[in-house]
Amino acid sequence: MAEQKKLLRALAGETQDVPPIWMMRQAGRYLPEYRATRAQAGDFLSLCYNPELAAEVTLQPIRRYGFDAAILFADILLIPQALGADLWFVTGEGPRLSTITSEADFAKLGPVSDIHETLNPIYETVRILSRELPSETTLIGFAGAPWTVATYMIAGRGTPDQGPAHALREENTALFEALLARITEATIEYLSMQIDAGAEVVKIFDSWAGSLKGEAFEKYALEPCRQITAALKERYPHIPVIGFPREAGDKYVGFAKATGIDCVALDNSVDPEWAAANVQVDGCVQGNLASRHMVTGGQDLIDETRRIVAAFKNGPHIFNLGHGITPDADPDNVQLMIDTVRNG
């Protein structure tokens, strides 16, 4: 049967007059209805683990804007927690985790087979969404890429330069690689369960891929993405995979072919005309409007949106931001972006 959903058509390689559109962090603090539901849940993690409320915040941007895709509401740091790391969020600052800097820290992590005990509520959220989403809306599941997840597990928090993770990688390569292997294995099982529950596409977020240079990029960004994709394709040949090696620069070229993913998500440091010529030649691309336009709006937002749509119009494209929408964004600017994409 021919595929009807716009997002799945783009992922299958179809060029469309109007690209499908969704937005990273589309369920988030810029929306008053999100803030209300989050307050009802108590805090961010309680919201992630409450299937009814997590499904509710996933649906909010679909109701408000009619995006072509919904992304499961959860977080990339639930995997470390499911493996036994402590995880909490400090309001206004971000995540905190127990750190992994020694073999003894690593030995405290649990086996991959135990992760579902913690993550079962997430699969329930996916099941609710696959029942409740409009028939034209595609449901995207996701996980963090092993390198990005490891940067938080090693440092115990977000870091500007991923320094502690780079230090461990150089000083204790065996431990670093064992950690990456554990996360890779857990991610395959986690994404498989999301697909079993009804996710139609999965996305792998490698937010810090750009800090891996040269051979380290191939080993720790490209190779884990290839392994996860290969394992998923073996189990679920028809489920498309989106990869997001953020700030990969020249390494975006050939990334889809080398990893087997169906679509590369582009950050906003990439010029769209360059990406059309060098990345979209291999298949679908997603991106790459700068998130700041959701704060500043106006003619700049319209011009830049039109430029991106025009640059990618001769191949498969999913319109999106280059990174997540920020809490200070104006919901009206999101509508302006959507109107510009859909009406020209």
Question: Annotated catalytic sites, by residue?
Answer: 25, 29, 38, 75, 152
Give Cα 137 distance to the centre of its chain.
Answer: 17
Q: Whole-number minimum distance, CB 41 to ligand CP3, in Å?
A: 9
* The only residue of 11, 76, 83, 85 in contact with ligand CP3, by rule CB under 6 A: 76
Number of residues in contact with ligand CP3, rule: CB under 6 A?
22
Nearest to 247 by CA among 276, 270, 280: 270
Q: Do 154 and 24 contact (CB within 8 A), yes or no? A: no
Instruction: By CB under 6 A, tell whether 121 contacts ligand CP3.
Output: no
* The only residue of 84, 249, 260, 324 in contact with ligand CP3, by rule CB under 6 A: 324
Binding mask 86-115 for ligand CP3 (x = CB under 6 A): --------xx--------------------
Q: Do 47 and 37 contact (CB within 8 A), yes or no? A: yes
Q: Whole-number minimum distance, CB 244 to ligand CP3, in Å?
A: 8
Segment lying near ligand CP3 (by CB under 6 A), choices 22-30, 97-105, 119-127, 303-311: 22-30
* The only residue of 84, 121, 158, 249 in contact with ligand CP3, by rule CB under 6 A: 158
Q: Which residues in 179-208 contact ligand CP3 (CB under 6 A)?
A: 205, 207
Nearest to 76 by CA among 137, 119, 105: 119
Give whichever of 8 and 59 is closer to ligand CP3, judged by the CB atom. Answer: 59
Q: Whole-number minimum distance, CB 24 to ligand CP3, in Å?
A: 5
Q: Do 212 and 145 contact (CB within 8 A), yes or no? A: no
Give the number of other Cβ atoms within 10 Å of residue 234's Cβ: 9
Measured distance CA(335)–CA(66) in Å, rounded: 10
Binding mask 24-63 for ligand CP3 (x = CB under 6 A): xxxxxx--------x-----x-------------------
Contacts of 56 (CB under 8 A, 6+ apart): 37
Residue with the shortest CB distance to ligand CP3: 207
Q: Do 318 and 10 contact (CB within 8 A), yes or no? A: yes
Q: Which residues in 239-278 contact ligand CP3 (CB under 6 A)?
A: none
Give whichever of 58 and 280 is closer to ligand CP3, judged by the CB atom. Answer: 58
Q: Whole-number minimum distance, CB 171 to ligand CP3, in Å?
A: 24
Element (H, E) at 278: helix 272-278
- For the beta sheet containing 241-245, the strands, ordered from the edge strand earlier in sequence to the opposite edge, are 69-71, 138-144, 201-206, 241-245, 263-265, 284-289, 317-321
Q: Whole-number minimum distance, CB 136 to ligand CP3, in Å?
A: 19
Instruction: By CB under 6 A, tell whether 289 contacts ligand CP3.
Output: no
Angle at which helix 223-235 crosses helix 173-197, to 10 degrees, equals 30
* The only residue of 73, 147, 190, 217 in contact with ligand CP3, by rule CB under 6 A: 73
Nearest to 66 by CA among 8, 140, 139, 136: 136
Give whichever of 77 and 202 is closer to ligand CP3, judged by the CB atom. Answer: 77
Give whichever of 270 and 276 is closer to ligand CP3, judged by the CB atom. Answer: 270
Segment lying near ligand CP3 (by CB under 6 A), choices 68-76, 121-129, 182-190, 287-295: 68-76
Measured distance CA(207)–CA(322) in Å, rounded: 11
Measured distance CA(2)–CA(249) in Å, rounded: 35
Segment lying near ligand CP3 (by CB under 6 A), choices 67-75, 193-201, 222-230, 235-243: 67-75
Measured distance CA(65)–CA(21) in Å, rounded: 10
Which residues of the shown chain bind ligand CP3 in the complex (CB under 6 A)?
24-29, 38, 44, 71, 73-77, 94-95, 142, 144, 158, 205, 207, 324
